[in-house]
Amino acid sequence: MAFSVIFGAGKIARGFIAHLLYLDKHEYIFVEKARPLVDLINERRQYTVNVLGRPERNTVVKGAKALSFEDRDRVVEAISKASVIFTAVGGKNLKEIVPILADGLAARFTSGCRDSLNIITCENWKQPADILQSGIEEAIEGKWLDLFRHTVGITEAVVMRSGIEPDAAALREDPLAVNVSDYWELPLDADRLKGKLPPIEGVKPMKGFNGFLERKFYTYNAANGTVSFLGYLKGYKMLADAAHDEEILDILMGVYDETSRALCAKHHFPLEEQLAFAKTSLNKLQDYNIVDSIERNARDPIRKLGPDDRLVGAARMVMEHGILPVNLATSIAAALYYDNPVDPIALKLKEIRTLKGIDHILTDICRIDPNGRLGLLVKEKAALLREKGWVKEG
């Protein structure tokens, strides 16, 4: 029987990766940094995956088990015996798992195993496979380097399913429960694989994958950021409500137009195909069956204002292809004013903005020249949001 190691035990790990493995009767184990979550999984050994809008497809995932990062010897042993490894730790945390992956692979090679192994990154992040590839090459013992390069594939998947925390009442009944969108395929880059993956229903290796992860990130995530930050400014609580607002929708459609034209220019996607892909993003945002909050989607605005992230990264790509990111600039401007008091990162952003000003955020966080074309456009849109009354402060 195939055995999978899943790094991370959050909503995507439990509500998508493990869900697919369980339905296909694969053995798996989570490896998780948060000890209380590890203990909860090992105590309860099961949890519910609720498919929003399709309750007949809800599943109780049984037999769940987890290891803590602190259980290093057991994690190394699990890696050494794995048929496939998944990561769902968040892109910014990938470097943290490199040392233990290197140790696990060394133990695998020391045991005499020469079977191919694939590590599948399930991260909304730019070039996550390259982060692990270069990190492991630096960390692994030199005598294993050639074997690593020849037998271990590190590939990227595009996560199209959303994982959403249930309400408080549901979590009291099952603290590990996850609400998910009705999406069942995990496409990944077939060209990066070594050997063959064990067959897993829903896991879809694709040839010609180049640009698909960027396509998803700068279509779905840019749209999500647009609706979340503008929705917050207009007082919405739920994502679907904000996505139906006519003023927000007008900006959102402009974002889709900007990113779609740039993605097609960069990756040679047919425009009609890309616009159809963008439509699936809009349908998801407007789906009232997906009960998802603005707060969940907008949280951690400093990261989401990063130079390669969903808004600034998309705007830079758009400009590289001769397109003025008028609507993306509006989204970035809205993110600058995300100050939800329940989000400590949002409050930190507000403090920076209040004490040091927007130019400082553009320079130090967004890596945008505040007096360059994009920086001036963002500041123009920020002034417009204040004029419209969406931003209340000066």
DSSP 8-state symbol, 238: B
Judged against a pLDDT cut of 80, whether residue 134 lies above it is answered with: yes
Task: Give yes or no for a contact between 356 and 365, defined as CB atoms under 8 angstroms apart.
Answer: no
**Strand 59-62 with 46-51, pairing:** antiparallel
Supply the pLDDT for residue 125. Answer: 85
Mean pLDDT of all residues in 44-54: 97
| Residue (of 296, 302, 259) closest to 278 by Cα position | 259
pLDDT at site 208:
79
pLDDT at residue number 394: 58
pLDDT of 209: 86
Pairing of strands 66-68, 152-156: unpaired
How many whole angstroms from its chain centre is CA 83? 24
Specify whether the CB–CB gap between 234 and 274 falls below 8 A. no
Fold held by 212-388? N-(1-d-carboxylethyl)-l-norvaline Dehydrogenase; domain 2 (1.10.1040)
Q: Is the pLDDT assigned to residue 361 strictly greater than 90?
A: yes
Of the chain, the percentage scoring pLDDT greater than 90 comes to: 96
Q: Determine the angle formed by the axes of helices 326-336 and 373-388, rounding to 10 degrees.
A: 70
Q: What is the pLDDT of residues 221-244, one digit of tens each?
A: 999 999 999 999 999 999 999 999
Q: What is the mean pLDDT of residues 117-143?
A: 95
Q: What is the pLDDT of residue 392?
A: 86
Residues forming CATH 3.40.50.720 domain(s) in the chain: 3-206
Give the pair of three-digit tokens for residue 7. 């790094």
CA nearest 71: which of 43, 30, 102? 30
* Mean pLDDT calculated for residue range 167-182: 95
| Single-letter amino acid, residue 112 | G
Residues of the chain with CATH 1.10.1040.10: 212-388
The proportion of the chain whose per-residue pLDDT surpasses 70, expressed as a percent, equals: 99
Across 346-365, average pLDDT: 98
Residue 217 to residue 226: CA distance in whole angstroms: 13
Q: How confident is the model at residue 124 (pLDDT cuts 50, 70, 90)?
A: confident
For residues 259 and 281, is the Cβ–Cβ distance under 8 A?
A: no
Strands 178-180 and 163-164 come out as antiparallel
Q: Which residue has the tokens 């233990």?
A: 100
**pLDDT band with cut points at 50, 70 and 90 for residue 393:** confident
DSSP letter string over 296-360? HHH--HHHHTSTTSTTHHHHHHHHHTT---HHHHHHHHHHHT---TT-HHHHHHHHHHHHH-HHH
User: CATH fold of 3-206, please?
Assistant: Rossmann fold (3.40.50)
For residue 89, the SS3 value is coil
How far, in Å, CA of 40 to CA of 374, rounded? 47
